[in-house]
A = this chain, B = another copy of it.
Amino acid sequence: MKTIDVCLTPELIHLYTLKDRTVVIVDILRATSCMVTAFAHGAHRIVPFANQEECRMMKSRGYITSGERDGKKVEGFDKGNSPFEYMGPEITGKKIAFTTTNGTLAIEKSKLAKEVIIGSFLNLSSILKYILFSQNNILIVCAGWKGKVNLEDTLFAGALVEKLKNHIEPDCDAPLAAQHLYNQAKNNMVEFLKESSHVKRLNRLNIQKDIEFCLTLDQYNVIPRLINNELVC
C-alpha cells in the first residue's frame, strides 16, 4: 500500500525523503488558496519567489506582482494575498510572480520532490482524486507560520489522511495527529479555528470573508503543478 506522511512545517523537511514522492504544498491562509483561485480564473502561470525583491523585478517582464509579508500586501505590488483579488477577468491568460511569508518558502524547500502540486480546501476533491490514481507515496508539506506549526494547514493535511484512510497508510504520527484534529474540526472549521493564532492575526487585518472562503470545500477543480520552477495548470 502507498504511504502518506505530513511535514508539519518546512523547518522539518530535511527529515523526509522527497525524491520518490508527490508533495502537496498547503498554505490555506492564504497563498495556496490564492494560487488555486487564480488558475481557476485562467491564470497562465505563477512563478513562486521566496525572495521579495526578485519577485518585484518580474514586473518589468510583464508579470503581475503578488504577495504579502506578515499578512499585508507588499508595497508597490499589484496584488496582495486575498483570493478575491484573483477572480477578475484581468487574471485570464496572465503570468503572476508570487511571494508570501510561508507558502512560497514551502515550495522552494520541496523542489527536490518527484512532483509538487498545490492544495487547498478549494480544490480538495481534485487533489484527492489525483493522489488516488498516483503511483507515488505522498508527503503533505504544511507552510506553517514562520517555521512553526499552524492549525489550518494541519487540518487540510488531516482531511486528506481521513478521506484516503482506506487506500493509503499513514507513515508516522504526524498524519494521525492531523487526522484526529480534522475529525474534531470538520463540522465547523471556521469555529474550530477561531482561537488559532493565524486566524486571530488575520482578524486584526479584518479579512473574515477571506478566512471563510479559504475554508470552503471544492470550489474549483484545478491542480496546479510545479514544472521547471513555475506553477502551471
Q: List the interface of chain A (C-beta within 8 A of B).
A: 8-9, 11-12, 15, 145-151, 154, 170-174, 176-177, 180-181, 184, 195-198
Contacts and interface: CB of A to CB of B under 8 A. Distances in A.
Given A180-B181, A181-B180, A173 B147 contact: no
A233 to B, nearest CB: 30
A147 B15 contact: yes
Nearest to A152: B173
A4 B178 CA distance: 21
A15 B151 CA distance: 17
Contacts of A174: 148-149
Contact of A149 (B8, B145, B170): B8
B176 A195 contact: yes
Nearest to A12: B11
For this chain, the copies found in one complex come to: 2
A177 to B, nearest CB: 6
29 contacts: A8-B8, A8-B149, A9-B12, A11-B11, A11-B12, A12-B12, A15-B146, A15-B147, A145-B172, A145-B173, A148-B173, A148-B174, A149-B173, A149-B174, A149-B177, A150-B173, A151-B173, A151-B176, A151-B177, A154-B173, A171-B197, A173-B197, A176-B195, A177-B177, A177-B181, A180-B180, A180-B181, A180-B184, A181-B181
Nearest to A192: B180
Contacts of A198: 173
A141 to B, nearest CB: 14
Contacts of A154: 173, 177
A174 B149 CA distance: 6
A208 B50 CA distance: 47
A131 B63 CA distance: 53
Contacts of A195: 170, 176
Given A148-B174, A180-B180, 10 more contacts: A8-B8, A8-B149, A11-B11, A12-B12, A12-B148, A148-B172, A149-B172, A173-B196, A176-B195, A181-B181
B147 A12 contact: yes
A148 B198 CA distance: 23
Contacts of A173: 145, 148-151, 154, 196-198
A124 to B, nearest CB: 20
